[in-house]
Amino acid sequence: MKLTGKEKISYGLGAVGKDMVYMLSASYILYYYQDILGVSAIAMGFILLGARIFDAFNDPVMGIIVAKTRTRWGKFRPWLLIGTLLNAVVLYLMFAAPPTLDGSGMVAYAAVTYIVWGVTYTMMDIPYWSMIPAFTEGGKEREGLSAMARSCAGVGSAIVTIITMKCVYMLGQGDERTGFRWFALIIAVIFVLCTLTTCINIKEKSTVQVDAPSIKQMLQALIQNDQAMATVITIVLINMSMYITSNLVIYFFKYDFGGEGWYNSYTLFSTFGGAMQIAAMVFFFSLLRRFFSTIQVFYVSFAMAVIGYVSLLILAFTNMSNVVLLFIPGFFIFAANGMLAILTTVFLANTVDYGELKNNRRDESVIFSMQTFVVKLASGVAALVASICLSVFHLNSDTENTAEVAKAAVSSVVGLRMTMTLIPIAGLVIAGIFFHKKYKLTEEKVEEIAEQVKIRREAGQNQLTGGK
């Protein structure tokens, strides 16, 4: 039975809410604790990376728990709701650090809240994405829902990217610490409401039932699914490259662009970038899909991202002061990011059928738990790289020595510009080359595999019924 419009919208709203939360954490947690609260950049970098390493153990375990769950409401929705409620509470606590804490106490608070946030995010993220193969048919329907959900996720990310600093200054009346506390509370409430809509309106449809795998079986399934491994490695490289920039761009505007109203320029740039990301997901991707395959669109997106970073590097070294000029690299980078987000999810969903055909078991929870882990791992590595940059080049709130945000030292600015452009370029080039060599699931191959899986399932059902 085909999905209804109500089901699609409800599922998409869940993506909007959860990626609003994820973007707030991924892009602003380092800035909040390092620049506003004064925690060591290196300490924050290792906290963020350490939390992601912890997820290496947490995510597969959550995948097993989801696979073993059997309730009257399904195996996905209960965890989706529980994880959302817990994550919303922890999100608020993470951006509401007690003013009495300082030094080691603040470091400990940041570490505990961020690790718990990662655990609770996994609790709802794995069930959310695992639902795609579970209640859709293969081929175009799955691709369509994946693209729509990822587009909605991009909308959520874009909204937070656009409004965060403006809202923080308004809610806190100039006090960033107070502003972040109120803003986190608002985002947490929106998150819960979006997930409730998903849980109420999405009904899990019948799928082939398999026994829940052990940890050993899960690891074997991942190792044996070479296409899933190729996809997740590509996802790591792409996201690491993009997150380095997203962590550092706020420092670029504050300490390179400078000026008392730097956050207005940052908001204007983010608004444009967010609009381009949404446009790419909703319009550009669909337009390109009329003429090219998903893999071809993937390479187009790679080229756009590299062009964007090269132009950003050139513009940065011209010492320009007009934010509108930054729209040129912004268009290429944000549009590419939007399309790459859709495509990697589609490619990963395609590996589920491939794994079932190759290994004779359907491991959607395993595979999508890997997606959650690798994206968060990428954000952790990116945060560590960004924190090292901030520490080495001495970029922090001490730079502000007047009412107007001062421009940082020339050496610091040069280091910042190089880090936020050259490293992402290198990461994207490596990702493109690796993907080209390893990923083999063309659209024709995907359709062929889906048909083979269907035939195998029908044969299995005939055996169970004695051929009747």
Q: What's the domain range around 360?
A: 7-201+214-459
Confidence of residue 405 (pLDDT cuts 50, 70, 90): very low
Q: What is the CATH number of the domain that holds 68?
A: 1.20.1250.20
> Residues 397, 400, 406, 412: is their CA dihedral positive or negative?
negative
d(CA 241, CA 55): 20
Question: Does residue 465 lie in a domain region?
Answer: no
> Residues 124, 195, 268, 170: is their CA dihedral positive or negative?
negative
Question: Does residue 207 lie in a domain region?
Answer: no
Question: Does residue 1 lie in a domain region?
Answer: no
Regarding pTM above 0.85, the answer is no
**Domain total of the chain:** 1
Confidence of residue 401 (pLDDT cuts 50, 70, 90): very low
Who contacts 352 (Cβ-Cβ below 8 Å, separation ≥6)?
133, 362, 363, 364, 367
Rounded to 5°, angle at Cα 179 from 173 and 184? 155
d(CA 214, CA 120): 22
Confidence of residue 143 (pLDDT cuts 50, 70, 90): low
* pLDDT for 344 beyond 50: yes
Confidence of residue 274 (pLDDT cuts 50, 70, 90): confident
* Tally of CA atoms within 13 A in the half-sphere of 290 that contains its CB: 4
Query: What is the rounded average pLDDT of the residues 264-293?
Result: 89
Q: What integer pLDDT is reported at residue 43 of this predicted model?
A: 92
Question: Does residue 64 lie in a domain region?
Answer: yes
Question: Does residue 334 lie in a domain region?
Answer: yes
Question: Does residue 208 lie in a domain region?
Answer: no
The listed range with the strongest mean pLDDT (185-194, 251-260, 286-295, 347-356) is 185-194
d(CA 320, CA 439): 41
* pLDDT for 29 beyond 70: yes
Give the single-character DSSP code of 324: G
Q: What integer pLDDT is reported at residue 402 of this predicted model?
A: 41
d(CA 455, CA 458): 5
Instruction: Tell me if 400 sits within 8 A of 389, measured CB to CB.
Output: no
Query: What is the rounded average pLDDT of the residues 363-392?
Result: 79
Between the CA atoms of 438, 444, 445 and 446, what dihedral angle is there, to the nearest 10 degrees? 100
> How many Å from the N-terminal Cα to the C-terminal Cα in the chain?
24
Q: What integer pLDDT is reported at residue 219 of this predicted model?
A: 66
Q: What integer pLDDT is reported at residue 66 of this predicted model?
A: 78
